[in-house]
Amino acid sequence: MNTIVVGQLQRQFQDYIVSLYQQGYLDNQFTELRKLQDEGSPDFVAEVVSLFFDDCAKVINDMSTSLERPDHVDFKQVDSGVHQLKGSSSSVGARRVKNVCIAFKECCDVQNREGCLRCLQQVDYEYKMLKTKLQDLFNLEQQILQAGGTIPQVSMN
Amino acid sequence: MEVCNCIEPQWPADELLMKYQYISDFFIAIAYFSIPLELIYFVKKSAVFPYRWVLVQFGAFIVLCGATHLINLWTFTTHSRTVALVMTTAKGLTAAVSCATALMLVHIIPDLLSVKTRELFLKNKAAELDREMGLIRTQEETGRHVRMLTHEIRSTLDRHTILKTTLVELGRTLALEECALWMPTRTGLELQLSYTLRQQHPVEYTVPIQLPVINQVFGTSRAVKISPNSPVARLRPVTGKYMLGEVVAVRVPLLHLSNFQINNWPELSTKRYALMVLMLPSDSARQWHVHELELVEVVADQVAVALSHAAILEESMRARDLLMEQNVALDLARREAETAIRARNDFLAVMNHEMRTPMHAIIALSSLLQETELTPEQRLMVETILKSSNLLATLMNDVLDLSRLEDGSLQLELGTFNLHTLFREILSLIKPIAVVKKLPITLNLAPDLPEFVVGDEKRLMQIILNIVGNAVKFSKQGSISVAALVTKSDTRAADFFVVPTGSHFYLRVKVKDSGAGINPQDIPKLFTKFAQTQSLATRSSGGSGLGLAISKRFVNLMEGNIWIESDGLGKGCTAIFDVKLGISEGSNESKQSGIPKVPAIPRHANFSGLKVLVMDENGVSRMVTKGLLVHLGCEVTTVSSNEECLRVVSQEHKVVFMDVCMPGVENYQIAIRIHEKFTKQRHQRPLLVALTGNTDKSTKEKCMSFGLDGVLLKPVSLDNMRDVLSDLLERRVLYEGM
């Protein structure tokens, strides 16, 4: 085990994850998720987030279909989709996504199609952004583990 | 006249002569016969005479001589042949005996002479022995007197008694008329009459010390005869009639030594003497005898020893009295100090309480105010009020703690707690401030860090909070990292060696910040009270400067060490401390958190095998909840719809978590249905907990009305879930898990 390399990687990891928190991509729930990862479920976080992203994709797709036709918008469906997204994103700690969902819900409540479309776009953008970021994070984790080190705990806002 | 036939003697002419011869012979014979008789008589009287045989011989010789002379009487006239024969025999015998006696006397006379010589010799010897006897007797008497005197003198350590007794005894032993003691005055220039035998109140009478007679006496250790007219001897008014008795004076050395060896008188360094003057009775014609002088000298020595002992005793008594006084004074001072400390503590406690109450009111109300609708300016003002009051509250706490720490009256309150949880809690406490300042904090707990430890949780938290708080306070940008590890040996401080024992270990916490840094010269000052480095960056921050001092004291109480390293200004700094904690036996200990919540009940920290059912339509949150419960050791079944839930639920499941986020009432129907399912076996019904995104009163009321046993706010943290499960299983109801 090359301590220097591990140390470097760990610092990199720390800085990266810290930046994610700072930029608001993640919140404390993500930390809680990471706590649930142990020997029994070593890929728990990865599984959950991948499920989340799949979920996101599906829901966004559905919502997009609903919002497509300007005269016949099933706001109930959109509402439930938003609700689901909000629930999922708060469960994984995807802060930005969640915030967008809040705004989305407001638009939905007032049945503002334009607003909803905008929010939808934003949600799409955000979740994809988060996906790439988390992918990088997991790569770093793998590198650390391969070098024989341990993943540091990080607690943030 | 008848004439016989013999030759006619010439009677008429020689008749007178014959007669005279006749008479003389007769008397000689008588004498010769009477002498032995006398001898025999006297010898018989005195039994001592050793020469009896000689006497017999002598007696015989004399008897025979007498016989001869007697027989001679008959030869004057004509006599027969027998007479002649007898005469001849007698003479022959006489001759023999007398020769023998003569020979004998040659031997005897020298003996007799030597007897005489011996007698003379013995008489001389007897006279000598008599003299010596007389001497010994006097010496013995002297010795007896001295012993008695010494005994009297030494039986007391009181100076006056010693001296008085000396004079009295001497006076009695020697039959003195007067006896006096002159002591040197303080100045040493005069001798003062201190004690006399007969006069009861000696007058204040001094003589200068340089008198020749005094010098004479002081110059020798022997008793010196002095003139009765000298000033020291003139103690009584002199009336002309008396012829004053002889006076003797002797010096008494005044020493302060307690060890004397007989032949080893130390050189009298003090050269202070007292003078003892003894006067024989006047008109007695008595003389001072040698033995009396010797007696006086011996007594003087004894008195010197006794006086020095008395002097030493006096000094030690004085010293002891002084010490006792000091003791009393010290005791008083100590009591006063204690009273002062108690008064101060009381004052602090009271003031503390008096000050805290309004403080709490301010903080509480400001917090409440914060929750309401405020304009930005108002919000800013309220925040400032809150910040200031918090600072003030901290200051009061610090001051009270520090004063207790200084008294040494602070004791650690040991208990078992979860170290990992402690760090997380600290981080969550610091989070708000760090968020505001945009400083990320990272926590790195070493893998071998024990989870359950024994120590003073509150104070440890205080230390870490203080240090992390400082790090946050003094950093404008960058990040803060907190690392906790078990340290083995080779610590930085040279005078502090860490030895982990079986049931203890040393926790090292390193807090690194990338803030303003500290000048290495200022580092020692950091831990002193009320001192703060005056760099511009820190001037704007508040704080009393007590924090580090208190932390240092706590760390010391925990048998640890704390120090700060910095590479210089602007390069950040690292605060490191080691403390000793005990290791406790893990999982069965009761978990106590630093923030008092519900009072401690026995909690299930271990839910292994607990069967639970999770119902959630949202796949992601279903998975998250399942992960949570699996992590806690439960056996989780998940369902995604009400119907499925009803189908699956059984008495094996102890808890059912149901998501009720969806608007509408349908979600709560499931609760009713489950109740119905278990009406017969009410005690086996699983506990029902709702997971919801909002926890306002209406939601709670709704849950209660539908028979749910508890409500949880999503998202649930791990610790929260753990607490909730424990509470639930203990009390079978939970409406506090918000």
Taking CA atoms, B27 is separated from B55, B98, B637, in Å, by 22, 20, 182
| Predicted complex ipTM | 0.85
Pairwise CA distance, residues B417 & B525, whole Å: 33
d(CA B648, CA A4): 53
Please tell me whether residue B247 adopts helix, strand or coil conformation: strand
Instruction: For residues B96 and B100, give the distance between their C-alpha atoms in angstroms, rounded to a whole number.
Output: 6
Which of B442, B619, B621 shows the shortest C-beta gap to A14? B442
Measured between beta carbons, the chain B residues lying within 8 angstroms of A48 are 620, 623-624, 627
pLDDT in tens, B110-125: 887 888 889 999 999 9
Interface touch B662/A33, C-beta < 8 Å: no
At residue B327, the pLDDT reads 96
Q: Does A132 touch chain B (CB under 8 A)?
A: no
Strand partners, B179: B278
Q: State percent of chain B over pLDDT 70.
A: 82
What residues in B contact A51, CB-CB < 8 Å?
619-620, 623
Say what the pLDDT of residue B603 is. Answer: 46
Mutate which: B421, B428, B437, B442, vs A, most A CBs within 10 A: B442
* CA dihedral over A77, A79, A82, A84, signed as positive or negative: negative
Task: Taking residues B566-594, report their average pLDDT.
Answer: 70
Residue A116: pLDDT band (50, 70, 90) is confident
Contact across the interface for A91 and B715, Cβ inside 8 Å = yes
Indicate the residue of A41, A154, A156 with minimum beta-carbon distance to B627.
A41
Encoded tokens for B232: 């020291």
CA–CA gap between residue A104 and residue A123 (Å, rounded): 9
Percent of chain B with pLDDT over 90: 5
**Chain A residues closer than 8 Å to B628 by CB:** 36
User: What confidence category does residue B492 fall into, taking pLDDT thresholds of 50, 70 and 90?
Assistant: very low
Task: State whether residue A62 sits within 8 Å of chain B by CB.
Answer: no
CA–CA distance, B279 with B245 (Å, rounded to integer): 6
pLDDT, one tens digit per residue, over B265-295 is 555 555 678 888 888 887 777 788 888 888 8
Chain B residue numbers with beta carbons less than 8 Å from the beta carbon of A156 are 431, 440-441
Taking CA atoms, B72 is separated from B26, B45, B496, B709, in Å, by 9, 34, 146, 185
List the one residue out of A32, A31, A30, A54 whose CA is nearest residue A128: A54
Q: Which residues of A touch B447 (CB under 8 A)?
A: 150
Chain B residues with CB inside 8 Å of A15's CB?
479
Who wins on pLDDT, B481 or B351?
B481
Q: Chain A residue with minimal CA distance to B714?
A: A91
The CA distance from B163 to B145, in Å, is 16
Residue A111 three-state SS: coil
Chain A: closest CA distance from residue B390 (Å): 21
Q: Residue count of chain A, please give it.
A: 157
Q: Which residues of B touch A109 (CB under 8 A)?
A: none
CB atoms within 10 A of CB B466: 23
Nearest chain B Cα to A32, which residue? B717
Is the minimum CB–CB distance between A44 and chain B shorter than 8 Å? yes
User: Please, which residues bridge with residue B562 across strands?
Assistant: B577
Burial per residue of B682-713, b for 16 or more beta-carbon CB atoms within 10 angstroms, e otherwise: eeebbbbbbbbbebeeebbebbeebebbbbbb
Any B CB within 8 A of A50 CB: no
B435–A contact, CB cutoff 8 A: yes
Statement: residue B153 has pLDDT above 80: no
- CB within 8 Å of A39: residues ≥ 6 apart: none
Nearest CA in chain B to A18: B440
| Chains A & B: contacts with CB separation below 8 Å | 98
Mean pLDDT to the nearest integer, B658-684: 75
Task: Produce one character per residue of B637-667: b if its CB has 16 or more CB atoms within 10 Å, e if not.
Answer: bbbeebeebbeebeeebbbbbbbbbeeeeeb
B481 contacts A41? CB cut-off 8 A: no
Contacts of B623 in chain A (CB under 8 A): 47-48, 51, 91
**What is the pLDDT of chain A when averaged over all its residues?**
86
What's the rounded Cα separation, in Å, for the pair B727 and B738?
13
A94: DSSP letter = B
Cβ A92 vs Cβ A59: under 8 Å: no
Q: How far is B391 from chain A (nearest CA, A)?
A: 23
Q: Which helix (H) or strand (E) holds B562?
A: strand B561-566
The better pLDDT of the pair A85, B9 is held by A85
In terms of Cα–Cα distance, which of B514, B533, B520 is closest to B571? B514
Residue B73 backbone dihedrals phi, psi, to 5 degrees: -55, -40
CA atoms of B359 and B365, how far apart (whole Å): 10
- What torsion, rounded to 10 degrees, do the Cα atoms B613, B618, B623, B629 define? -40
Please write the tens of the pLDDT for every residue from B619-649: 888 888 888 888 888 888 898 888 888 888 8
Closest CA to B39 of B49, B26, B30, B29: B49
Distance in Å, alpha carbon of B713 to nearest chain A alpha carbon: 11
Give the phi and the psi of residue B698 in degrees, each rounded to 5.
-65, -40
Model pTM? 0.37
Quick one: pLDDT band at residue B728, thresholds 50, 70, 90? confident
Q: What is the mean pLDDT of residues B196-205?
A: 72
Distance from CA of B435 to the nearest CA of A (A): 6
User: Residue B323: left if φ>0, alpha if ψ -120 to 50, beta else—which one?
Assistant: alpha
CA angle at B506 for the pair B500 and B508, rounded to the nearest 5°:
145
pLDDT over threshold 80, residue A82: yes
Mean pLDDT of B195-210: 76
pLDDT digits (tens, 9 = 90+) for B433-447: 888 888 888 888 888
Query: How far is the C-alpha of B728 from the C-alpha of B372, rounded, in Å?
Result: 33
pLDDT at B529 over 60: no
Q: How big is chain B, counted in residues? A: 738
Chain A residue at shortest CA distance from B633: A40
A21 touches chain B (CB under 8 A): yes
Establish if B436 touches chain A: CB-CB under 8 angstroms.
no
Mutation for B interface: A22, A32, A51, A85, most B CBs within 10 A = A32
pLDDT for B541 beyond 80? no
Query: How many whole angstroms from its chain centre is CA A138?
Result: 13
Which pLDDT band, with edges at 50, 70 and 90, does B502 fall under?
A: low
How many helices (H) and strands (E) would you count in chain B? 16, 18
